[in-house]
Amino acid sequence: MRKNYRYNKSKDNNIKKARIIILFMTIVFLIVGGSSLIAAKFFQNRQEVQALDDTKQSGDSDSNSNDKKDNRDSLNVESNSEVEDSSFIEKYLNQQMKGQKPDGADGKKVVYLTFDDGPSETVTPQILDVLKSENVHATFFIVGKSLDKDENTKNIVKRELSEGNSIGNHTYSHNYNYLYPNGKINLWNCMSDIEKTNESLKKVLGEDFSTRAIRFPGGHMTWKNKDSVGMDTMDKALHEKNYHQIDWNSLSQDAEGTPKNAEQLKQEVIKTTAGREKAIILMHDTYGKEETAKALPGIIEYLKQQGYEFKVIK
């Protein structure tokens, strides 16, 4: 009897041990299997994340590539635009006047139509109408006091800019006695007159407006010959403010000698642009220059026939 009891007890212990082993193995299997599943899921997620990152980087790369292309295209548009840097014109004319071959001589024929002494309520609108109809643009060198005359003149300058033309500074007073007393450059008077016109332009065209193109009444070349030291000092003061003086190498002579009719003005332009690769033409849009407005269509037609590209100066 006792022997059977011991046998049964031993059997029960063996069953319990077997159950414990089975339970332990089951737990181990579950842990190992669960860990493998978790690891596999983690690896899958990591691959998905990596794939997303690769796609994003590829997209960013394409975007950057497109951005760079857009920037290049933008630069190409700017380089091929009708806008010329005022520093280029200043240097080109200075070298040309010294009898040197200008650095910018490249075989391309370019013309720059420039108008001084405006705006006027009579002539300037006529000139703007012609420019618009001919699909070309010009650079207007503004006299500050003419700009400040009334709301009409202010609106005319707004129109000049809005229609794609460029604005330059032609001093405020245009007064030779004030700017060049006794035939000598007065640095303070010239600079203050230039800044006064800039202030007027900003009030009309907005605080963000600026121009680097300066044209002296009578021209830089005139006063350079008469007062070389004074003009050298003037040039240094201008360059310190990133201004550049713009003269001309062709003209209609609508402000020189006896009054001329439209055909005579056109012939003067033809004569003075002959052989010019880069022609900076001086004309005027102030009161009394109606013949200049009449001559302009013929002048533009001739220049187009000669293969000139039209640009503005900024």
Q: In CATH, what number is assigned to the domain containing residue 303?
A: 3.20.20.370
> Do the beta carbons of residue 84 and residue 311 sit within 8 Å?
yes
Residue 94 has pLDDT above 80, yes or no: yes
Q: Is the dihedral of CA 145, 148, 150, 156 positive or negative?
A: positive
Whether residue 133 sits in one domain with residue 42: no
Full domain range(s) for residue 107:
83-313
Mean pLDDT of the chain: 83
Residue 249 has pLDDT above 80, yes or no: yes
Question: Annotated active-site positions, please?
Answer: 116, 284
Residue 214 has pLDDT above 90, yes or no: yes
pTM above 0.85, yes or no: no
Whether residue 150 sits in one domain with residue 16: no
Q: What is the largest CA-CA distance in the chain?
A: 154
Whether residue 209 sits in one domain with residue 245: yes
Quick one: average pLDDT of 182-201? 96
Residue 30 has pLDDT above 70, yes or no: no
Whether residue 27 sits in one domain with residue 135: no
Q: How many residues does the chain have?
A: 314
Q: What is the 3-state secondary structure (H, E, C) of the chain?
A: CHHHHHHHHHHHHHHHHHHHHHHHHHHHHHHHHHHHHHHHHHHHHHHHHHHHHHHHHHHHHHHHHHHHHHHHHHHHHHHCCCEECHHHHHHHHHHHHCCCCCCCCCCCCEEEEEEEEECCCCHHHHHHHHHHHHCCCCEEEECHHHHCCCHHHHHHHHHHHHCCCEEEECCCCCCHHHHCHHHCCCHHHHHHHHHHHHHHHHHHHCCCCCCCEECCCCCHHHHHHHCHHHHHHHHHHHHHCCCEECCCCEECCCCCCCCCCHHHHHHHHHHHHCCCCEEEEEEECCCCCHHHHHHHHHHHHHHHHCCCEECEEC
Quick one: average pLDDT of 74-101? 80
Whether residue 199 sits in one domain with residue 127: yes
Residue 177 has pLDDT above 80, yes or no: yes
Whether residue 131 sits in one domain with residue 7: no
Give the per-residue pLDDT at 22. Answer: 61
The residue from 38, 64, 80 where one domain ends is 80
Give residue 228's pLDDT band: very low, low, confident or very high (50, 70, 90): confident
Q: To which residue do tokens 């139509």 refer?
A: 113
Beta bridge partners of 282: 114, 251
Whether residue 100 sits in one domain with residue 41: no
Give residue 231's pLDDT band: very low, low, confident or very high (50, 70, 90): confident
Closest CA to 261 of 286, 299, 295, 285: 295
Whether residue 57 sits in one domain with residue 17: yes
Whether residue 172 sits in one domain with residue 91: yes
Q: Which of 76-90, 111-125, 243-257, 265-279 has the lowest mean pLDDT?
A: 76-90
Quick one: average pLDDT of 214-219? 96
What distance in Å separates the CA atoms of residue 140 and residue 160, rounded to the nearest whole number? Answer: 8
Residue 289 has pLDDT above 60, yes or no: yes
Q: What total of structural domains would you count in the chain?
A: 2
Quick one: average pLDDT of 77-81? 46
Whether residue 210 sits in one domain with residue 88: yes
Whole-angstrom CA distances from 273 to 111, 133, 281 are 9, 23, 8
Give the per-residue pLDDT at 146. Answer: 98
> Which residues have a Cβ under 8 Å from the Cβ of 134 and sit 6 or more positions away?
297, 300
Give the per-residue pLDDT at 12. Answer: 54
Whether residue 159 sits in one domain with residue 75: no
The residue from 45, 80, 115 where one domain ends is 80
The residue from 36, 62, 80 where one domain ends is 80
Give the per-residue pLDDT at 15. Answer: 55
Q: To which residue do tokens 């001084």 refer?
A: 116
Whether residue 57 sits in one domain with residue 135: no
Give the per-residue pLDDT at 17. Answer: 59
